[in-house]
């Protein structure tokens, strides 16, 4: 017991040192691993690498937690809960090792001297979203989803450079039943310039890729699910369809549908959790 108390005091001392006079920096989503876990990128500064890493991990935790609140009462509850979340950091945000070279995997991405003893780090790590949401719900910092599904509303809109109307019809024909099956209420696409009128927006990017010999083409599709209130990206996925003979409308349509289905499959676990109330609100 004495050892545990000493370790807790050491951790609190390190946290206080890391955060003395420091503002936490927001993180960003790299990718959704599954309905329970997100890969996030965090930035931090401190008087040592260890302090900067701690600062970065706390920043990601705070950023993600704030994105889950929706009312002043929940924000106030989060303030009361925050000291406990700091102490539970290792259960909620992954520890950091040396990073991989692709820039997307887990680990320390960069370390830069800011002069004197101060350093700045950028790192990728796992954030255990489901565990954080449970703690916040228990403390009244986030409303628990109702049983039987949330009925969350979503609208599907094209990213800049929308495909031709016929192709956009095909995209929506694949995505709307997919979203409805996951438990979402799919609203009508708004007119240009109008507010989406939904809790979530699924932005769809479509790009046609021409082969050098011009005898074949394929489609790349990127999906990004964004929470309207916070503008936080909660899920993303991308895929490229198989090469299809150019000039064949039926073959090109088939290739586009394949790319849409593959991209949607990459975010399916989180979509189902969101639509059925098991994941983010």
What is the per-residue pLDDT for 149? 44
Dump pLDDT digits (tens) for 156-171. 888 877 678 888 888 8
Domain check: are 130 and 158 in the same one?
no
Range of the domain at 201: 153-276
Residue 281 lies in a domain: no
What is the per-residue pLDDT for 236? 86
Residue 204 lies in a domain: yes
Specify whether the CB–CB gap between 53 and 44 falls below 8 A.
yes
Domain check: are 122 and 13 in the same one?
yes
Domain check: are 198 and 118 in the same one?
no
Residue 123 lies in a domain: yes
Residue 251 lies in a domain: yes
Domain check: are 122 and 157 in the same one?
no
What is the per-residue pLDDT for 71? 81
Three-class DSSP labels, 221-235 = EEEEEEECCCCCEEE
What confidence category does residue 54 fall into, taking pLDDT thresholds of 50, 70 and 90?
Answer: very high
Mean pLDDT computed over every residue of the chain = 80
The set of residues, in sequence order, having a beta carbon less than 8 Å from that of 38 and lying 6+ positions away, is: 29, 30, 31, 32, 64, 126, 127, 129
**Is residue 41 classed as helix, strand or coil in its secondary structure?**
strand
Domain check: are 133 and 7 in the same one?
yes
Question: What is the CATH number for 166?
Answer: 3.40.50
pLDDT for residue 13 is more than 70: no
What is the per-residue pLDDT for 6? 44
Residue 143 lies in a domain: no
pTM: 0.59
pLDDT for residue 262 is more than 70: yes
E strand intervals along the chain: 28-32, 37-46, 107-115, 118-128, 153-158, 185-186, 200-210, 216-227, 233-240, 244-245
Residue 148 lies in a domain: no
User: How much of the chain, in percent, has pLDDT values that exceed 70?
Assistant: 79
Domain check: are 132 and 12 in the same one?
yes
What confidence category does residue 280 fall into, taking pLDDT thresholds of 50, 70 and 90?
Answer: very low
Tell me the C-alpha to C-alpha distance, in Å, between residue 267 and each of 178, 185, 206. Answer: 11, 17, 17
Number of domains in the chain: 2
Residue 147 lies in a domain: no
Dump pLDDT digits (tens) for 77-126. 999 999 999 999 999 999 886 544 445 568 898 999 988 889 999 999 99
Higher-scoring residue by pLDDT: 9, 83: 83
Given 112, 138, 164, the domain boundary residue is: 138
The set of residues, in sequence order, having a beta carbon less than 8 Å from that of 95 and lying 6+ positions away, is: 125
Dump pLDDT digits (tens) for 161-207. 767 888 888 888 889 888 888 888 888 887 776 777 788 899 999 98
Strand-pairing partners, residue 237, are 223
Distance CA 135, CA 75 (A): 14
């Amino acid at each position: 017991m004495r050892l545990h108390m000493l370790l807790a005091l050491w951790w609190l001392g390190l946290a206080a040192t890391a955060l003395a006079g420091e503002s936490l920096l927001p993180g960003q989503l790299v990718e959704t691993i599954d309905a329970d876990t997100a890969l996030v990128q965090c930035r931090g500064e401190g008087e040592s690498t260890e302090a900067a890493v701690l600062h970065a991990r706390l920043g990601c935790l705070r950023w993600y937690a704030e994105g889950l609140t929706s009312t002043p009462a929940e924000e106030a509850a989060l303030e009361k809960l925050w000291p406990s979340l700091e102490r539970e950091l290792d259960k909620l945000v992954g520890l950091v090792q040396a990073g991989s070279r692709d820039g997307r995997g887990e680990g320390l991405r960069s370390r830069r001297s800011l002069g004197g003893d101060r350093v700045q780090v950028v790192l990728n790590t796992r954030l255990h979203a489901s565990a954080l949401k449970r703690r916040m719900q228990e403390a009244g910092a986030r409303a628990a989803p109702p049983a039987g599904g949330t009925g969350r509303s979503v609208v599907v809109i094209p990213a800049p450079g929308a495909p031709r109307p016929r192709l956009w019809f095909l995209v929506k024909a694949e995505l709307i039943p997919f979203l409805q099956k996951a438990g979402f209420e799919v609203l009508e696409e708004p007119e240009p310039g109008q507010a989406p009128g939904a809790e979530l927006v699924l932005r769809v990017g479509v790009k046609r890729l021409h082969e050098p010999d011009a005898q074949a083409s394929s489609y790349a599709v990127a999906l990004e699910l964004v929470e309207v209130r916070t503008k936080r990206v909660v899920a993303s996925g991308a895929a490229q369809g198989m090469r299809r003979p150019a000039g064949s409308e039926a073959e090109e349509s088939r290739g586009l549908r394949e790319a849409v289905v593959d991209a949607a499959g990459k975010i399916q676990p989180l979509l189902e959790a969101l639509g059925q109330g098991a994941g983010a609100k």
